[in-house]
């Protein structure tokens, strides 16, 4: 049973527009959420995180929104740039294992 789901395997966005990547989770015990970016043949790199006590966290062009009642989080990238083309993973933690549970990833393609 997938506890963290990224339902869109890929997303294509025009350069300069907003990219919105979505993530849903099922475990209500999760209280810490992270987004990672991964280029081919490299390990994921940390982008931004959010604690369940907040509903929004911003870092430059990246903003993460958390809707606890809907068990949904999203990553907004504004404006999208060609270098943003990568696979984005969301991860969650906070259950009794305190392990990071990962989504399957969404491949973001920024079109020039």
Partner 1 sequence: KAGVTQTPRYLIKTRGQQVTLSCSPISGHRSVSWYQQTPGQGLQFLFEYFSETQRNKGNFPGRFSGRQFSNSRSEMNVSTLELGDSALYLCASSVDRGTEAFFGQGTRLTVV
CB of 16 to partner 1, least distance (A): 29
Phi, psi dihedrals of residue 68, rounded to the nearest 5°: -65, -35
Of 22, 30, 36, residue with least CA distance to 74: 22
Residue 112: CB atoms within 10 Å: 6
Cβ proximity to partner 1, 4 vs 77, nearer residue = 4
CB of 15 to partner 1, least distance (A): 26
Residue 70 found at the interface with partner 1 (CB under 8 A): no
User: How deeply is 105 buried, as exposed, middle or buried, from its count of CB atoms within 10 A (0-12, 13-18, 19+)?
Assistant: buried
Residues 5-24 that bind partner 1 (CB under 8 A): 6, 9
Using DSSP, state whether 84 is helix, strand or coil.
helix
Residue 98 found at the interface with partner 1 (CB under 8 A): yes
Judged by the rule CB under 8 A, the positions of this chain that interact with partner 1 are 6, 9, 32, 34, 36, 41-46, 49, 89, 93-94, 97-105
């Amino acid at each position: 049973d997938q506890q963290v789901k990224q339902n869109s395997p890929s997303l294509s966005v025009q350069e300069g527009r907003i990219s919105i990547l979505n993530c849903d989770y099922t475990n209500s015990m999760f209280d810490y959420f992270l987004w990672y970016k991964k280029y081919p043949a490299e390990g994921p790199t940390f982008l931004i995180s959010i604690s369940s006590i907040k509903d929004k966290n911003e870092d430059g062009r990246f903003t993460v929104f958390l809707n606890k009642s809907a068990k949904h989080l999203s990553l907004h990238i504004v404006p999208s740039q060609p270098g943003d083309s990568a696979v984005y993973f969301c991860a969650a933690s906070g259950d009794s294992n305190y392990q990071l549970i990962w989504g399957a990833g969404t491949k973001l393609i920024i079109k020039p």
